[in-house]
């Protein structure tokens, strides 16, 4: 089992570069499916497990991709399937974001119900409500959703009951090729929505109002591949700000955009941290003693839920009692139990966590219960007495590029231990299985192709990929 081992007590200092934003790059890569012509070239694509997952989804749909030096090139001219396979969708919730582009391009999509971090129920009703308003017929199967529309999608006025980030993105992507104008009211305002709109507009779309509560999308006939650079990851930047503050450090966070981090900056300043904007980032200088603050997560521009667990780690060592209220996800306090293993004093009361500060944290064996919880445990380990061993790293690898290397470069005593590669004998067996599968696949596909049409459609939707209105 992979683990990160942190020995607390080192003051962080120096420069750390923020990677491209996971939550911006995933919808943007999904949106590349909209280009009927030309290649999209996306820069600042972080090397994350989630990016690899969406890459697999796009490839399964017929996209041709290359990834080199943080640049991904995608050609989606020839889509060969409308089905996002379960094996990838179950790994990552954001795979569901291909539904909007597939409906726009092909008028049909079949997607397994999404997986991802178990931080709440994470409904998708607002995505579906938006598609239905655009004339899409939705069928819920066992473990999947099938959506189709004869002819082009129709522009509509859609009011979101919750300002969902994913629903706003999915509906925007469906609407760009629709007939007429779509208005999304109570739209999410996150910077990642603006980044997606900028990429869509570079492709030839007409999206206005992204970043406000009302987004208007005028449908166009066709979109082309475009160049785009992904915004820096505000959650990764925020995590390094917390790491600096935990260790009374002095860290420059290269690429961090102050405006995107306003609520995090404001809370850290209330605690006594000094933050200054530089030419290309933010400098964070933290005193040894920090004051407690109350924090409530809210949609942007409120305090981000994705920073809640890291902030809680900092509040555990600040002076005084803090109340953390989580309003976005009903099950996002799983890290509390892990913090308690490190001597934290936290009580949960429904959606509130009462954090008693001034804790002398002690190193312990802990597990990342979700992506940000993993980062928060690492942050706590940076100022704990002794060694903290964090497992459950598959969560962390979804969203942080080399967090161990970046913290070590700032002076942290941190290392990652990965299990030794499989014994050569097992590797040989695996190679043999892979070769056998490769040989078997063409036979299976040929058998499917010659099967009865009805059966063929049921079992191999990838064989029928003409737009429904073609
Ligand atoms: C890949 C990505 O960008 N992930 C981010 C995105 O997730 P995601 O897009 O999944 O989050 P949403 O904004 O959709 O979810 C927010 C809340 O709305 C609810 N909801 C959502 C959709 C819906 O149809 N019905 C409904 O009730 C959810 O259950 C949740 O309670 O925004 C979250 C909130 O900022 C972040 O924590 C995630 O990191
Ligand atoms: C919850 C997160 O991601 P996802 O929506 O992909 O699960 C996150 O980035 O913290």
Q: What is the 3-state secondary structure (H, E, C) of 355-421?
A: EECCCCCECCEEECCCHHHHHHHHHHHHCCECEEEEECHHHHHHHCCCHHHHHHHCCCEEEEECCCC
What is the distance between the alpha carbons of residues 207 and 203, in angstroms, rounded to a whole number?
Answer: 11
- pLDDT at res. 457: 34
Average pLDDT over residues 233-240: 98
Q: Is 117 a catalytic residue?
A: yes
**pLDDT category, 324, cuts 50, 70, 90?**
very high
pLDDT in tens, 428-451: 655 665 555 544 444 333 333 333
pLDDT in tens, 399-422: 999 999 999 999 999 999 999 877
Greater pLDDT, 95 or 463: 95
> What are the residues whose beta carbons fall under 8 Å from the beta carbon of 102, sequence distance 6 or more?
33, 61, 79, 82, 84, 108, 109
- pLDDT at res. 121: 73
Q: Do domains 3-19+232-417 and 22-229 have the same CATH topology?
A: yes
Alpha carbon 387 to its chain centroid, in Å, reads 29
Q: Which CATH superfamily is domain 3-19+232-417 in?
A: Enolpyruvate transferase domain (3.65.10.10)
Q: Enumerate the domain spans of the chain.
A: 3-19+232-417, 22-229, 424-463
Consult the annotation and say whether 22 binds a ligand: yes
Distance 468 CA to ligand 2 centre (A): 33
CATH class of 22-229: alpha beta
Q: Ligand nearest 116 Cα, by number? A: 2
Say how many C-beta atoms besides its own lie within 10 A of residue 368's C-beta: 26
pLDDT in tens, 252-300: 999 999 999 999 999 999 999 999 999 999 999 999 999 999 999 999 9
Distance 370 CA to ligand 2 centre (A): 8
- pLDDT at res. 431: 62
pLDDT in tens, 111-153: 988 755 567 778 899 999 999 999 999 998 888 899 999 999 9
- pLDDT at res. 123: 87
Residues with CB under 6 A from ligand 1: 23, 26, 93-94, 120-127, 162, 164-167, 188, 192, 305-306, 328-329
ipTM above 0.85, yes or no: yes
Distance 43 CA to ligand 2 centre (A): 21
Distances (CA, A) of 206 to 183, 199, 219, 314: 12, 11, 7, 43
Q: State if residue 48 touches ligand 2 by the CB under 6 angstroms criterion.
A: no
Tokens of 119: 């931080």
In DSSP terms, which residues pair with 223 in a beta bridge?
A: 35
Mutate to test the pocket of ligand 2, among 372, 374, 375, 403 (most ligand atoms within 8 A of CB): 372
Consult the annotation and say whether 328 binds a ligand: yes
């Amino acid at each position: 089992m992979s683990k990160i081992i942190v020995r607390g007590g080192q003051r962080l200092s120096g420069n750390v570069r923020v990677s491209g934003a996971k939550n911006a790059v995933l919808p943007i890569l999904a949106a590349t499916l909209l280009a009927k012509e030309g290649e999209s070239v996306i820069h600042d694509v972080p090397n994350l497990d989630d990016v690899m997952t969406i890459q697999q989804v796009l490839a399964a749909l017929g996209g041709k991709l290359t990834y080199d030096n943080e640049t991904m090139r995608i050609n989606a001219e020839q889509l060969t399937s409308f089905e996002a396979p379960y094996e990838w969708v179950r790994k990552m919730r954001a795979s569901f974001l291909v539904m909007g582009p597939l409906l726009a391009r092909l008028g049909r999509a079949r997607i397994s119900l999404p997986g991802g971090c178990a931080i709440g129920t994470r409904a998708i009703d607002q995505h579906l409500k938006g598609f239905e308003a655009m004339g899409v017929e939705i069928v819920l199967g066992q473990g999947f959703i099938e959506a189709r529309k004869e002819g082009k999608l129709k522009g509509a006025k859609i009011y979101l009951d919750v300002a969902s980030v994913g629903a706003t993105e999915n509906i925007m992507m469906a609407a760009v090729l629709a007939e007429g104008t779509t208005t999304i009211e109570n739209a999410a305002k996150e910077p990642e929505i603006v980044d997606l709109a900028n990429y869509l507009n570079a492709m030839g779309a007409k999206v206005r109002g992204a970043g406000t509560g009302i987004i208007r999308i005028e449908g166009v006939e066709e979109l082309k591949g475009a160049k785009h650079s992904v915004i820096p990851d505000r959650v990764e930047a925020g995590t390094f700000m917390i790491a600096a503050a935990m260790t009374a450090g002095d860290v420059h966070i290269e690429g961090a955009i102050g405006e995107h981090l306003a609520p995090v900056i404001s809370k850290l300043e209330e605690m006594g941290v000094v933050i200054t904007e530089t030419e290309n980032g933010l400098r964070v200088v933290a005193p040894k003693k920090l004051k407690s603050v109350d924090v409530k997560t809210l949609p942007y521009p409120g305090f981000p839920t994705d920073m809640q667990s890291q902030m809680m780690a900092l509040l555990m060592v600040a002076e005084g009692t803090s109340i953390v209220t989580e309003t976005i996800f009903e099950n996002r306090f799983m890290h509390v139990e892990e913090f308690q293993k490190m001597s934290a004093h936290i009580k949960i009361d429904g959606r509130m966590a009462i954090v008693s500060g001034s804790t002398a944290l002690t190193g312990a064996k802990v597990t990342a219960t979700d992506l940000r919880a993993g980062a928060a445990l690492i942050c706590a380990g940076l100022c704990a007495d002794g060694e903290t061993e964090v497992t459950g790293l598959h969560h962390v690898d979804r969203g942080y590029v080399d967090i161990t290397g970046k913290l070590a470069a700032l002076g942290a005593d941190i290392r990652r231990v990965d299990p030794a590669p499989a014994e050569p004998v097992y590797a040989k067996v695996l190679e043999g299985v892979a070769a056998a599968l490769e040989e078997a696949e063409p036979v299976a596909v040929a058998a499917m192709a010659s099967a009865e049409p009805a059966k063929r459609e049921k079992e191999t939707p990838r064989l029928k990929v003409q737009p429904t209105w073609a």
